[in-house]
Amino acid sequence: MEIIAEHSHILLIMTCCFGLFMAWGVGANDVANAMGTSVGSKAITVKQAILIAMIFEFAGAYLAGGEVTSTIRKGIIDPAILQDTPELLVFGMMSALLAAGTWLLIASMFGWPVSTTHSIVGALVGFAAVGISVDAVSWGKVGKIVASWVVSPVMAGTISFGLFMSVQKLILDTKSPFENAKKYVPFYMFTVGFMIAMVTMLKGLKHVGIELDFGLGSKFANAIPMAVIVGVVVALIGQRFLMRIKEVDVGAGGNRFANVEKVFAVLMVFTACAMAFAHGSNDVANAVGPIAAVVGVLNNGGNVMAQSPMPAWILLLGGGGIVLGLATYGFKVMATIGKKITELTPSRGFAAELGAATTVVLASATGLPISTTHTLVGAVLGVGLARGIAALNLRVISTIFMSWIITLPAGAGLAILFFFTFKAMFS
């Protein structure tokens, strides 16, 4: 308690700095994953990807980031064990942020798409188990989170595989692929708009003080009419863009799907927005959850709360750091996801992105802190498998899997080192 009272200001400043560093790492590594498919399929440029991410990552983090944040903050460490030593929780959260940020910096330098969720959970478990007590960790919650890392890529891969097969059946394997693309793509656009609207209204708007009630009973039922309207608006806007695309004669030796891919390139702009929004809503928790825990302890005079409100300025800090990370260092991981796993075209990239975004949005709506990296890689693998195992670069995939395995112990080891450093500094 005395350490909290004496050093509260410096502890808050250090926590915010480390949180911003962690958010920068999320942007440099994880957001680059989210944008990699769009850039790799040449649907959008790197500059356009950064602009989309700036708007939609920030919107997702601010409007829908609070639900997952509460899971990260209160689910892994048992607050009751730390009631008499709140300073240990503060040191631990600071060390977790710094450890995860450091590992993300290293991984981004090598172009490895590692999991920010892995990084922060590994760091939290590491400092709590070694620095406090093995009993301080809620191992049941950790088990559920670990299970989600297996479920999320399988789920995203399955959805993406199904989406791409629907594209093949409805569009690519028909006599008039260009006409059918213009016919069916607006329905995919509707799905994108509907999905983003649902998660925003179900989990997001309460964080900015807005409640929608159309007298339909449940919150879910109230959200559906507005989500349908948003979906229709998105589809109509997309239709206007599609009307400008004219079929060009590709000749006898040309690619008969070249015109179709132009249509999907327009759709990819919408799925890129969805992926950025979904990512911001889910992964901002990794950076801002520990900050919120520290702020809660400092504001309550050292009392460790099981739950504390999420101040808007913390979500703003996390969203800003994420955008900064992508803009300054995201290009390396973008290249890995977009070009090195499998050859992506706009139609394949669309299936991967919408499958991944759907998985992340569902996870965000249920408060499950899945790994966006695992989800997106699983989605890209699902699209690749639709063309056969030969379409996948197995060497790159094995390197990615190895980096995933290293992430947990790396985050834990760095967090333990930083935890005892901070403890020595302030004690």
Q: What is the pLDDT of residues 103-150, one digit of tens each?
A: 999 988 887 778 887 888 889 889 888 888 888 888 887 787 777 777
Question: Taking a C-beta distance cutoff of 8 angstroms, is the pair 191, 231 a contact?
Answer: yes
Residues in the chain: 427
Q: What is the pTM of this model?
A: 0.78
Per-residue pLDDT at 14: 94
Task: Give the rounded distance of the alpha carbon of 370 from its chain centre.
Answer: 8
* Nearby residues of 78 by Cβ (< 8 Å), 6 or more positions away: 135, 136, 137, 138
* Nearby residues of 217 by Cβ (< 8 Å), 6 or more positions away: none
The position carrying tokens 């997106």 is 376
Provide the terminal-to-terminal Cα distance of the chain, rounded to the nearest Å. Answer: 12
Query: Cα(379)–Cα(155) distance, rounded to whole angstroms?
Result: 8
pLDDT band at 259 (very low <50, low <70, confident <90, very high): confident
pLDDT band at 34 (very low <50, low <70, confident <90, very high): low
Of 363 and 25, the one with more pLDDT:
25
Up-side HSE of residue 259: CA atoms within 13 Å toward CB?
20
Per-residue pLDDT at 98: 96
Q: Is 402 exposed, middle or buried (0-12, 13-18, 19+ CB in 10 A)?
A: exposed
| Region label for 301, one of left (φ > 0), alpha (ψ between -120 and 50) or beta (otherwise) | left
Cα–Cα nearest to 346, from 31, 44, 34, 33? 44
**Any idea of the CA torsion for 179, 192, 354, 115, to the nearest 10 degrees?**
160
pLDDT band at 420 (very low <50, low <70, confident <90, very high): very high
